[in-house]
Chain A
Amino acid sequence: MRQKKIYPYLLIAPALLFITAVTLYPTIFSVYLSLNRSRRGVLEFVGLRNFEIIFNSGDFWESFRLTLIYGFLFVGLVMVFAFLLALIFNRGLLFGGVYMSIIFIPWMLSEIVSSVMFRWMFLPEIGIAQRLLGPIFGDITFLGNDAGAMGVVIGATIWRSVAFAMLLLLAGLQTIPGELTEAASIDGANRWQAFWKVTWPLVLPTTQVTIVFLTIQAINAAGMFLSITNGGPGRATEVLSLYMYREAIVFFNFGYGAALAVILFLLNAVLAIVYIRSLRSQVTYA
């Protein structure tokens, strides 16, 4: 009997051990690091100094602003495309699986592989996207232009993420029983009305979940920015996550970088709470 009580804990012990050592402990350690300054590799306790410097730093607020711009455009555009796609896939077309596999391929690529592809397409003077789209946007060289470089990263990240967002929304749409929309059409609603009165309210919780998911992705998009623009031109695409990476890993300002990580972590934690709440509020109608 006693053995039976221990058994479940034995099974979950390795998982908890690894998560604690590799995820939880470093997270707590980063709070400690954020209260220190590192000088020639030696830590020196400075209290909240790092946060004070951060909140008074023009670079931080500029990166914050860029993160907001990127986040809104990325999440907004992905949601629009993903929703339209989910509605199309929800019609259960022939070969739907083939189409879906194809639009999922970018999600299966490494960030750096995607970056090589997009940098090649936008290579100044040579890249095909540069030559075709450049004239439309006032003859700019995309990767050498502040807004253009941001645009390339937004385009590349949409390209990678739209299928995943679509899949989440589609899963939400598929939990809505067909009878509900049928009932609405029997009651004389046209498809447009049926969508807004029946489908939309039912798929709203899934939409929330997807938005939170994408927002977390947007805040942490350091990899794509690092590999496509490296923050440039100048600091025009130096979003918060990249700023953190550069301060800590390139300039070895562990304390300062850790303080930035704590700020990013808090943003993520708030979103994670919202996420778990919207998961709980999700109702099944089947």
Chain B
Amino acid sequence: MSAISREGAPPARSPKLLSWQRLEPILLHTVLIILCLIVLFPIVYTLLASLRPQGFGLSREIIPADGFYFGHYERLLSTPRFMRNVLNSAINSLGGALLTTSIAAAAGYAFARLEFRGRQVILTFILAMMLLPGLTNLIPLFKLASDLGILDTYLIMILVYGTYGIPFGIWIMKGFYETIPKQMEEAAAVDGATPIQALLYVVIPMSLPGLISVFMINFVYNWNDFLTALILLSSSSMKTATVGLFDFQNQLTGNNNELLNAAAILIMIPGIILFLIARRSFLQGMVEGAVKG
């Protein structure tokens, strides 16, 4: 097993030391710092390898002696096929996230604020859909898309990404709307606004943080998706960055590992940046999506 299994021992020992009031925080910080180093290790090791000339890996050195080499990144950024794959990822992820966010914004509001027949049943149905992973769906989806002639298009990717995120988006938005005071809509109604106007001009603007977090979480999820895109896309001009990376990994010849590693690092960046920008809403969103439904 990987390096991960080694970090099990130290925290297990901590209960014995818990009575040592002053030592405890030091011990726990040490454990966490070691753990963080282990967690970051695969990423850093790959990053270092991407900053070395080709074939360097065979020398077994981890840090190059004669400075970093950025040639692999320059080469990738000027390779039309790689950039096309990245563009495809951006189009599919953006389209999917926009679709999810707008649909979830409307439905979440109905579940949070309005009373209607079948509300609970429909809500449970949507929760159940969230638990059914896309995997078992992929075969019929492939067949259906192929029969409809929309395999290998932006349309099918945006439809699928946009739909997979809906249940999660509804939960998050429902929770968010429930924190907004009802008086806002009531005041709008008194001023003569229709319910739809109240939603569009009063509630939605106030829910912007929730909408943005649903959008970002979905964008990162779509960006990182690999299996759905692998199955539904086939031509090299339509493939996404993750599928391109998979092809590259499988066609790897000789000692081209440095270039492969550089591609992996580039593809990793958007997700990490969005996560670090909106860390709090990501973490909150994930807990709410999973347990507070």
Contacts and interface: CB of A to CB of B under 8 A. Distances in A.
B2 A110 contact: no
B103 A15 contact: yes
A112 B139 contact: no
Interface in A91-112: 91, 93-95, 97, 99-106, 108-112
B49 A120 contact: yes
A279 B1 contact: no
A40 interface: no
A279 B130 CA distance: 14
A116 B244 CA distance: 12
A222 B170 CA distance: 27
Interface string B154-196: 0000011011101100100000000000000000000000011
B1 A128 contact: no
B106 A257 contact: no
Contact of B272 (A105, A115, A172): A105
Contacts of A18: 99, 103, 159, 162-163, 166
Contact of B39 (A22, A25, A106, A152): A106
B69 interface: no
Interface residues of B, number: 108
Given A11-B114, A118-B2, A168-B291, A110 B40 contact: no
Given A30-B136, A248-B142, A261-B139, A158 B2 contact: yes
Interface in A20-58: 21-27, 29-30, 33
B211 interface: no
Interface string B125-148: 011110111011111111110000
B245 interface: yes
A15 B257 CA distance: 44
Interface in B52-67: 57-58, 60, 62
Given A81-B4, A100-B283, A152-B2, A11 B140 contact: no
Of B133, B196, B243, chain A has the most CB atoms within 10 Å of the CB of B133
Contact of A220 (B18, B43, B135, B139): B135
A220 B226 CA distance: 13
Interface in B61-113: 62, 99, 103-104, 106-107, 109-111
A198 interface: no
A110 B268 contact: yes
B51 to A, nearest CB: 13
A23 B137 contact: yes
B209 interface: no
| Interface of A (DSSP majority class) | helix
B3 interface: yes
A268 B133 contact: yes
B162 A248 contact: no
Contacts of A113: 224, 242, 245, 264, 267-268
A19 B32 contact: no
Contacts of B260: 116, 120
Contacts of A172: 291
Contact of A272 (B24, B131, B163, B196): B131
Contact of B224 (A110, A241, A254): A110
Nearest to A155: B2
Nearest to A24: B129
B242 A112 contact: yes
Question: Of residues A12, A223, A249, which shows the largest number of chain B Cβ atoms within 10 Å of its Cβ?
Answer: A12
B249 A227 contact: yes
B22 interface: no
A8 B114 contact: yes
8 contacts: A7-B195, A94-B29, A101-B276, A106-B39, A128-B62, A159-B42, A209-B291, A261-B137
Given A9-B116, A100-B283, A126-B57, 17 more contacts: A12-B110, A14-B106, A14-B107, A19-B163, A81-B4, A88-B14, A93-B29, A104-B275, A109-B224, A112-B242, A116-B46, A128-B62, A129-B3, A155-B2, A261-B136, A272-B132, A276-B131
